[in-house]
Amino acid sequence: MFEKLHTFDGHTGCVTDVALSDFYAVTGSSDKTAKIWCLSDGSLTATLEGHKSRVIAVDICTDHVATASDDGVIKLWSVVDGTLKTTVAVAKDAVRFLCLSAHYFVTGGHWQKDDSGKEVNVWSLSGDLKASCYDAKTTRQLRALCISHSQDMIVTARLTTIQVWVNPKPPNGQPGEGSWSWRVKFRMKGHASPIVEMCCSGFLLVSCSGQAGFRVWSLSDGTEKMAAQAITGVSHGGNINMLGLASGYNLIAPSVGKKRLGVWPLAGMVDPSGEVAVSLGKLQIPAQHEWSVSEAAALDARGHHVVVASGNSASVWVTEPGRRRMDSESLGVPLQFLLGEWGEYARGTTQLEDPGFRDLKNALWTGPSPQHFRGSDSQLCPRDLRPGCSIVDVLHKTSGASRATHFMSWSWDYKVSVLLSALRRWENQGTGDHGQTSLWICFFVNNQYRILLEKAAMGSDDLGSVFAARLQACGRVLVLLDKLKDPVYVKRVWCVFETYQATRLKVPLQVILPEEAYSSLKADLRGGRLDEVTKSLTEVNVEDAIAWSKDDEVRIKQEIRETIGYEQVNGAVKAFLSTWVVDCFHHILTDSLEPDTQGAEAAATMEPSSEGGQISVLKRDLATCRTELREAREELVSKGKEIAQLKAKVLLLHHEPVPEETRSELLPVGSPLTAIRQLKEEQHESSDSEASSHEIGVEATTTPSAAACK
């Protein structure tokens, strides 16, 4: 059963194509734009503008969105913020089909009389043409194109024949690794009329022709597993021209004649060798839940979401399992539970006075006698209905865990006491209703049975899009620093990456400290050691940062290296932490100041031997800095005016127009000709005036930049 989740409104033209991932939907439109939408709340995250013709195809994979317009232009964008990454221009009508993989994208076009458009081209994500899939034995018109992501296969259909292309060593994103050579593994025949659509999932391929018939194939051996000329449970009255296939083997097949869309269970069993047995079930969705469609529909990889285009909008529908999964993954651990029960539970479970979270990992999941938080090993996970669930799933039943309001950036290397002390200080600040606060903390929210024990999910898969979705859904980030001198935080690649992503997405960040670190910070700042604290915190080098999982470390660094680069990440995180230290200096100073009853002179001469004396010295130094900064700004403004006037004189000497605001100061009386004559006389008085003018022009362009850098 499906229920309506969101409606995506915003296009001014017909929606021409749609695509889905676990966290986002993408729509392309005849209004020459594409849009990225967040599945969790239906919000618009980015509008992709730049095409000069209607967008005819879209796709999404990992952290990229691909769009193609009918003038032959393909663009790749960042899922995270909609930044344009790559543009490729080919011939008009050379792109009709577009498929995106994690490390390449594939295009195919309409067949042309001059044989152009026959090729299926493989491109790197940087936009370089790397290979062409051209089968000399099957040179007919290209009818459909898809990619099997799990098997790394490219599948093409030409009239009634299907070709499956394989690469023994496909590119994997690592420089110099992998090849760009695909060859035909299978040619599969069986359709009596031209193929109009195909889709892949795992070892299964579904293809359909125009007479409401479809066939199911095994990609492991190329054999046909099922054929049907009609789909049980619905009268089409038209042709099938859209398909979707998910890992649960749910099939979507629209009827163009009645413009309706249905979903059928396609039961499938796949053994380790890839052997497939399938059968088609009855229509799952009652008539009142069939959808009116125009041109596009898509099913996500799990079969949990369907997005359907109709007119200028699109709607997303979710199954009951999909709803359970979304709700579970969005939960946060209640702040009151952490401050009330977690400390005692952690000590009792580990038998340690001050346990760390790695101690708890062993005690709960990976040790010789795992304790299993409140019987979580036997409770069904709402995300996959298998035994073994996350801590927040247990809390949702027993302690009322609700949707996360904050994302916690932290390290598993911390002690439990560090987390609780920082959260207690934060709660005591009294900002907001902390009774309703829930924190998205990976230790509690992720299903560690799947990650730690089954190795079924890598934490860094779809890195950028996963974090973007989680950060945007929570809306606020807490950065937990363990200490200020030689902090663990800046040495962990996850922590640095999370902080960078939050600053990039403009998600508000707040640093929280345990009591001991805060007391140390106050002492350092009052002692005039601001530079020392700043230096310690900003020794950030993400290239040297580590992760507990080596695979995670490699994936994160690869993501950074292939997108924004180490330097940009380091710079953004350093800038954030530096600003935070300065803000702390201001707040600590402000909070510590008491009414000054002795006057400015007494404050200026007070010895810094006492705390009050130290505060007065800091206050005096701050006032001095402000005065010096104000004087420097005034001097810069004055120099800028002088430079502008000198530039104006140079322009007059060369008969160039002078800005009006400068002309009034330079020529208060008389005519421009008089001024020019006067300037030429001045020119003869100085033999090197021309060189000086040139130097002035250089100085005028460099001085403001140098001042800004300071």
315, 351: one domain: no
Q: Give me the pLDDT at residue 599, please.
A: 36
296, 443: one domain: no
Whole-prediction pTM? 0.74
343, 282: one domain: no
Q: Do residues 31 and 13 make contact, with C-beta atoms less than 8 angstroms apart? A: yes
Query: Rounded mean pLDDT of 610-621?
Result: 51
189, 61: one domain: yes
pLDDT in tens, 471-489: 888 999 999 999 988 899 9
Which of 560, 577, 592 is the last residue in one of the domains? 592
Q: Give me the pLDDT at residue 27, please.
A: 97
Domain count, the chain: 2
Q: Give me the pLDDT at residue 292, please.
A: 55
224, 348: one domain: no
pLDDT surpasses 90 at 499: yes
CA geometry: angle 319, 388, 551, nearest 5 deg: 90
pLDDT in tens, 632-641: 666 666 666 6
What whole-number percentage of the chain has pLDDT above 70? 69
Domain presence at residue 226: yes
- Taking the C-alpha atoms of residue 416 and residue 425, their distance in angstroms, rounded to an integer, is 14
Domain presence at residue 211: yes
Question: Which range marks the domain in which residue 135 is found?
Answer: 2-168+181-323
Residue type, 484: L
Q: What residues pair up with 201 in beta bridges, in sequence order?
A: 204
Query: Rounded mean pLDDT of 214-240?
Result: 68
70, 136: one domain: yes
Higher-scoring residue by pLDDT: 563, 417: 417
Domain presence at residue 157: yes
345, 278: one domain: no
Which of 407-416, 676-685, 690-699 has the weakest average pLDDT? Answer: 690-699
Helix axes 515-526, 416-428, angle to 10 degrees: 70
pLDDT surpasses 80 at 671: no
294, 396: one domain: no
Q: Give me the pLDDT at residue 57, please.
A: 94
102, 193: one domain: yes
Q: What residues pair up with 198 in beta bridges, in sequence order?
A: 207
Domain presence at residue 372: no
Six-digit token pair at 116?
């152009």
Which of 535, 566, 592 is the last residue in one of the domains? 592
313, 409: one domain: no
301, 354: one domain: no
Q: Give me the pLDDT at residue 296, please.
A: 80
Question: Counting beta carbons within 10 angstroms of the beta carbon of residue 616, is it exposed (0 to 12), middle (13 to 18) or buried (19 or more)?
Answer: buried
H helical segments located in 448-492: 448, 463-474
Beta strands in 579-661 (DSSP E): none
292, 355: one domain: no
Element holding 107 (H helix, E strand): strand 104-108
Q: Give me the pLDDT at residue 224, please.
A: 87
Q: Give me the pLDDT at residue 76, please.
A: 97
Of 194, 309, 210, 196, the closest CA to residue 259 belongs to: 309
Q: What is the mean pLDDT of the chain?
A: 78
Q: Give me the pLDDT at residue 256, please.
A: 46
CATH of the domain at 6: 2.130.10.10
Which of 269, 300, 323 is the last residue in one of the domains? 323
Q: Give me the pLDDT at residue 673, please.
A: 45
Q: Do residues 183 and 169 make contact, with C-beta atoms less than 8 angstroms apart? A: no
Domain presence at residue 395: yes
Which of 53-62, 289-298, 363-372 has the weakest average pLDDT? Answer: 289-298
- Taking the C-alpha atoms of residue 81 and residue 44, their distance in angstroms, rounded to an integer, is 11
Higher-scoring residue by pLDDT: 395, 96: 395
- Taking the C-alpha atoms of residue 514 and residue 403, their distance in angstroms, rounded to an integer, is 25
Instruction: Output b/e per residue, 451-470; b: 16+ Cβ within 10 A.
Output: beeeeeeebbebbbbbbbbb
Domain presence at residue 601: no
Domain presence at residue 408: yes
pLDDT in tens, 10-52: 999 999 999 999 889 999 999 999 999 999 889 999 999 999 9
CB atoms within 10 A of CB 137: 8
Q: Give me the pLDDT at residue 180, please.
A: 86
Give the neighbor-by-neighbor strand order of the sheet with 129-133: 97-100, 104-108, 120-124, 129-133
Domain presence at residue 629: no
